[in-house]
């Protein structure tokens, strides 16, 4: 086979999406693999947010797979990575992993992680070859949100602020994430959600001070799917009182989702972030997808016990 890896082109997103659904739907044993992810549009959303983050794998000139990276300042995530099922087992995924690592070379990336299914020795073994090591459990949890859920005091939506107010809020979000992990910056995610009109960034403040924010996808065409809100990333200020701040932020997200007619909120975190995990469970969230966090070079990053961060590494 003649193998080529290059940047994924916009005209190829549709076929890349079909391969992605076939690959994960087949792995999970779905009767119709193409039904994987429903009407969510993970690949299109990520390509639109950062076209240079997407790689195409071609075998004899035909698209055979793709991979994506997420760059949050000093944090880099690898995945999703998919190869068309008939071509799996031939070592093609190695070329995609190598390209992903090239895209995540420092600087500024200091911490690299990924989501893997623990039940697949093939997947775990593949990433271990490139310096990733199992670090803990990752879970995406969900909760049904009743209509009419009310927001707590101090909650607001970024899109409803003035231009100056949005600029100030973005600056405060950057300061907050930098206090969680040096160089962590999700500004691109915030802007992408607004520009694509696929969700909202929910803010919670005490007085004039931002105490937490959540970047949320919502509905068909986003990474969430119909009737659902999905927290792409959320964080509250570290330190004493983090659990209470996270509860307030979750309440604000649920109220926003209810106001948008969404019935389910999904949010993920890692078992190393003990406070965040316990807070999600205490708030009524239950896991529906579980995997393992794999860290490059066994660095902990922000997977620490007292870090109240919610995210989805898939």
Which domains occur in the chain, in start order? 3-109 (3.40.630.30), 142-291+303-311 (3.40.630.30)
pLDDT beyond 90 at 9? yes
Nearest CA-CA partner of 112 in 165, 139, 73: 73
User: pLDDT of 181-212, one tens digit each?
Assistant: 999 999 999 999 999 999 999 999 999 999 99
Instruction: Report CA-CA distances (Å) from 25 to 33, 203, 228, 253.
Output: 4, 35, 20, 29
**Residue 288: which H helix or E strand, with range?**
strand 286-296
Cβ atoms of 296 and 112 within 8 Å: the answer is yes
**Residue 65: which H helix or E strand, with range?**
strand 62-72
Q: Which residue has the higher pLDDT, 1 or 294?
A: 294
The pLDDT score that the predictor gives to residue 149 is 86
User: pLDDT of 87-125, one tens digit each?
Assistant: 999 999 999 999 999 999 989 999 999 999 989 999 999
Phi, psi (degrees; rounded to nearest 5) at 304: -130, 155
Total length of the chain: 314
pLDDT beyond 90 at 295? yes
Cβ atoms of 231 and 249 within 8 Å: the answer is no
Which residues share a beta bridge with 270?
138
pLDDT beyond 90 at 153? no
**Confidence bin at 151 (pLDDT 50/70/90):** confident
Average pLDDT of the residues in 149-159: 89
pLDDT beyond 90 at 268? yes
Report if pTM > 0.95: yes
User: pLDDT of 39-87, one tens digit each?
Assistant: 999 999 999 999 999 999 999 999 999 999 999 999 999 999 999 999 9
Cβ atoms of 313 and 114 within 8 Å: the answer is yes
User: pLDDT of 219-266, one tens digit each?
Assistant: 999 999 999 999 999 999 999 999 999 999 999 999 999 999 999 999
Tell me the DSSP string of 77-112. EEEEEEE-GGGTTSSHHHHHHHHHHHHTPSSS--EE
The pLDDT score that the predictor gives to residue 227 is 98
80-84 LR contacts (CB < 8 Å, sep 24+): 80/20, 80/24, 80/42, 80/43, 80/314, 82/19, 82/20, 82/23, 82/24, 83/19, 83/23, 83/57, 84/19, 84/22, 84/23
pLDDT beyond 90 at 152? no
């Amino acid at each position: 086979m003649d193998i080529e890896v290059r940047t994924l082109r916009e005209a190829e997103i549709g076929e890349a999406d079909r391969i992605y659904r076939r690959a994960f739907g087949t792995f999970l044993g779905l009767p119709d693999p193409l039904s994987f992810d429903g009407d969510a549009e993970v690949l299109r959303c990520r390509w639109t947010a950062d076209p240079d983050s997407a790689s195409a794998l071609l075998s004899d000139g035909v698209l055979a797979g793709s991979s994506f990276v997420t760059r949050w300042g000093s944090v880099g995530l690898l995945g999703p990575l998919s190869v068309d099922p008939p071509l799996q087992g031939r070592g093609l995924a190695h070329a995609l992993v190598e390209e992903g690592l090239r895209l995540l070379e420092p600087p500024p990336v200091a911490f690299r992680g990924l989501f893997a299914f623990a039940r697949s020795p093939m997947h775990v073994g593949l990433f271990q070859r490139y310096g990733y090591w199992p670090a803990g459990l990752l879970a995406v949890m969900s909760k049904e949100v009743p209509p009419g859920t009310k927001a707590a005091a101090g909650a607001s939506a970024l899109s409803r602020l003035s231009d100056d107010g949005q600029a100030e809020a973005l600056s405060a979000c950057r300061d907050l994430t930098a206090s969680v992990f040096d160089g962590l910056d999700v500004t691109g995610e915030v802007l992408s959600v607004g520009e694509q009109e696929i969700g909202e960034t929910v803010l919670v403040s005490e007085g004039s001070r931002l105490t937490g924010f959540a970047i949320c996808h919502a509905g068909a065409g986003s990474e969430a799917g119909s009737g659902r809100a999905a927290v792409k990333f959320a964080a509250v200020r570290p330190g004493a009182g983090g659990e209470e701040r996270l509860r307030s932020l979750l309440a604000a997200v649920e109220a926003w989702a209810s106001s948008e007619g969404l019935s389910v909120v999904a949010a993920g975190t890692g078992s190393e972030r003990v406070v965040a995990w316990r807070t999600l469970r205490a708030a009524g969230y239950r896991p529906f997808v579980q995997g393992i966090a794999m860290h490059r070079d066994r660095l902990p990053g922000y997977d620490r016990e007292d870090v109240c961060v919610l995210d989805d590494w898939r």
